[in-house]
Structure 1
Amino acid sequence: MLYNFVTPFADDFGVLNLFRYITFRTGGATITSLLVCFLFGQRIIDWLRSKQHAGQPIRDDGPSSHLIAKQGTPTMGGFLILLGVGSGSLLWCDLSNPYVWAVLMVTAGFGAIGFADDYLKVSRHNVRGVPGRIKLIAEAAIALAATAWIMYFMPAPLSSGLAIPFLKTVLINFGWFFLIVGVFVLVGASNAVNLTDGLDGLAIVPVMIAAASFALIAYLVGNAVFSNYLQIHYVPGAGELAVLCGALVGAGLGFLWFNAPPAMVFMGDTGSLSLGGTLGAISIVTKHELVLAIIGGLFVLETVSVIVQVASFKMTGRRVFRMAPLHHHFEQKGWAESTVVIRFWIIAVILALAGLATLKLR
Structure 2
Amino acid sequence: MRAVVAAGAISLVLSLLGTPLLIRYLTRRQYGQFIRQDGPASHHVKRGTPTMGGIVIILAAVLAWLIANIGTGRLPSASSILVVFLMVGLGLVGFLDDGIKITRERSLGLRARWKFLGQGIIGVTFGILALQFSNSRGLAPASTSISFLRDTALDLAYWGPAVGIILFVVWSNFLITAWSNAVNLTDGLDGLATGTAIVFFGAYVLLTIWQGNQTCGIGESTSLCYEVRDPGDLAILSAAIAGACFGFLWWNASPAKIFMGDTGSLALGGAIAGLTIVSRTEVLGVIIGGLFVIIVLSSVLQIASFKLTGKRIFKMAPLHHHFELIGWGEVTIVIRFWIIAGLCAGVGMGLFYAEWVSSL
State whether residues 147 and 179 of structure 1, in contact with CA within 8 Å, keep that contact through their aligned partners in structure 2. Answer: yes
* Residue deviations 1:52-91 (CA, integer Å, cap 9, x gap): 25x20001010011112x1221100111111111110111
CA distance in 2 between counterparts of 1:297 and 1:350 reads: 9
* Residue deviations 1:303-352 (CA, integer Å, cap 9, x gap): 11111111111222111110000000010110000010000000000000
Residue 180 of structure 1 corresponds to 170
Give unpaired runs (5+ residues) of structure 1: 1-22
How far is the alpha carbon of 1:153 from its aligned partner?
Answer: 2.5
Residue 28 of structure 1 corresponds to 6
Residue 171 of structure 1 corresponds to 153
Residue 211 of structure 2 corresponds to 221
Identity of aligned residues (%): 40
State whether residues 190 and 277 of structure 1, in contact with CA within 8 Å, keep that contact through their aligned partners in structure 2. Answer: yes
Structure 2 residue 99 is the aligned partner of structure 1 residue 119: yes
Aligned residues: 336
Structure 2 residue 40 is the aligned partner of structure 1 residue 63: yes
3-state SS, counterpart of residue 359 of structure 1? helix
How far is the alpha carbon of 1:131 from its aligned partner?
Answer: 0.7
How far is the alpha carbon of 1:120 from its aligned partner?
Answer: 0.4
* Residue deviations 1:283-309 (CA, integer Å, cap 9, x gap): 100000101100111001111111111
Paired AA for residue 339 in structure 2 = I
State whether residues 12 and 244 of structure 2, in contact with CA within 8 Å, keep that contact through their aligned partners in structure 1. Answer: yes
Residue 109 of structure 2 corresponds to 129
CA distance in 1 between counterparts of 2:13 and 2:239 reads: 13
State whether residues 211 and 245 of structure 1, in contact with CA within 8 Å, keep that contact through their aligned partners in structure 2. Answer: yes
Structure 2 residue 193 is the aligned partner of structure 1 residue 193: no
CA distance in 2 between counterparts of 1:307 and 1:81 reads: 29
Residue 145 of structure 2 corresponds to 161
CA 1:326/1:222 → structure 2, altered by over 3 Å: closer, same or farther?
Answer: same
Residue 19 of structure 1 corresponds to none
How far is the alpha carbon of 1:229 from its aligned partner?
Answer: 4.1
Structure 2 residue 82 is the aligned partner of structure 1 residue 105: no
Residue 268 of structure 2 corresponds to 275
Structure 2 residue 334 is the aligned partner of structure 1 residue 341: yes
CA 1:227/1:255 → structure 2, altered by over 3 Å: closer, same or farther?
Answer: farther
State whether residues 199 and 337 of structure 1, in contact with CA within 8 Å, keep that contact through their aligned partners in structure 2. Answer: yes
3-state SS, counterpart of residue 171 of structure 1? strand
Paired AA for residue 151 in structure 1 = L
Residue 85 of structure 1 corresponds to 61
Q: Scaled by the length of structure 2, what TM-score is found?
A: 0.89
How far is the alpha carbon of 1:156 from its aligned partner?
Answer: 5.9
Structure 2 residue 312 is the aligned partner of structure 1 residue 332: no
Paired AA for residue 77 in structure 1 = G
Give the RMSD, CA atoms, in angstroms.
Answer: 1.8
Matches within 5 A, 1:204-219: 204-219=194-209
Structure 2 residue 286 is the aligned partner of structure 1 residue 293: yes
CA distance in 2 between counterparts of 1:271 and 1:146 reads: 19
State whether residues 228 and 234 of structure 1, in contact with CA within 8 Å, keep that contact through their aligned partners in structure 2. Answer: no
Residue 151 of structure 1 corresponds to 131
How far is the alpha carbon of 1:169 from its aligned partner?
Answer: 7.2
Paired AA for residue 81 in structure 1 = I
CA 1:179/1:263 → structure 2, altered by over 3 Å: closer, same or farther?
Answer: same
How far is the alpha carbon of 1:100 from its aligned partner?
Answer: 1.7
State whether residues 147 and 280 of structure 2, in contact with CA within 8 Å, keep that contact through their aligned partners in structure 1. Answer: yes
3-state SS, counterpart of residue 159 of structure 1? coil
